[in-house]
Amino acid sequence: MRAGSRLHWMIIAPNWPLHTKKAVWWQALNPAIYLVSILPAIGVILLTDDAIWLTGVIIAMIAVVLLQHAINLFNDVSDWRLGADEFKYDSWVRLYDGNTRIVNQHAVVSVVIGMLLGLLVLGLSGKYWILLIAAPLILLGYSYNAGSKPLSYTALGEWVTGLCYGPGVFGCLYMLTNDELGPSVILGSLTFACLAMALLLSHQPPQIATDQQAGKQSFAVRYGKDATISTVRYLLMTALVAFAAALWLTGNQSTAFLFIPMAVAVIIISYRITPNPKILLLSTSAVFVITLVFYKSGMPGIISG
């Protein structure tokens, strides 16, 4: 962050009206972004029969949300330190007037609580072996923002995101509730890996100039705005097609018939407008939530009958 910009922020932030600071707090939290950690849990429920351990899935999902929150906090600190947040006014560091120590402390608390909840679920399920997969991916997520050259500043950033949300979040949630592995876990992991990567790439085009200045080799910096937007659309399409296939292969064809038309509508919309994180999250969340409501209400059975 440039010294002049940081000084400007520290001068004006304390003088902001209270309602403005509350707005910045809400923008920094950005609740919608946590849907990317909630959707894999919904995916697991849709791909698992009624015997699913719902309590375990919910606790594990909360743990994932807390870990994502910590990574978001660490990311804001990293961007502040390396100068990539010059025009990022919804940063947690900006909210605390440039005090990175407070933000780091909050991130550590979030990590600890998230890990304790994760260990609780593994203890209750007796599946400690999932740690062999989860632990390296948690460390990979931490390295996304750690050090003088975080992975988020390299060409590996989008791949790390895909691994963490695909095999990491969905894969571990699926294995927590299922003893048998098959095409569903592969297709589900592909779904949420592609969706997470699409969300990451969709917010990059407006930040190309500041990312270049900070030395951040994001996908948009490397390939440009148009290629990034096209890739977002391809990733979104791959995600939705993969999940429709997963529903079909689990023998849940009636639910797939509900999912597919909505997925097609979301894909069409992504080609009619320029996709951004808010649009992608809200549209895909609507598809999964509506499908879940119909699935739990027994409507697919009624329709197929």
Residue 9 has pLDDT above 50, yes or no: no
Token pair of 146 as six digits? 């750690």
Percentage of the chain modeled with pLDDT above 90: 48
Q: Compute the distance between CA of residue 215 and CA of residue 212 in angstroms, rounded to an integer.
A: 5
The answer, yes or no, to whether residue 213 has pLDDT greater than 80, is yes
In words, the CATH class of domain 3-299 is mainly alpha
- CA 192, CA 170: separation in Å to the nearest integer? 7
Q: Say which residues have a Cβ less than 8 Å from residue 47's Cβ, sequence separation at least 6.
A: 174, 184, 188, 246, 247, 250, 252
Domains of the chain, residue spans: 3-299
Closest CA to 140 of 132, 148, 151: 151
Least confident of 1-10, 25-34, 186-195, 205-214: 1-10
Q: Report the share of the chain in percent with pLDDT over 70.
A: 83
Q: Rounded to 5 degrees, what are φ and ψ at 139? A: -65, -35
* Average confidence score pLDDT of the chain: 83
Q: Tell which phi-psi region holds residue 67, choosing left (phi > 0), alpha (psi between -120 and 50) or beta.
A: alpha
- Please tell me which residue, 263 or 88, carries the higher pLDDT value: 263
pTM reported for the whole predicted model: 0.82
Q: Which amino acid is at 133?
A: I
pLDDT at 300: 53
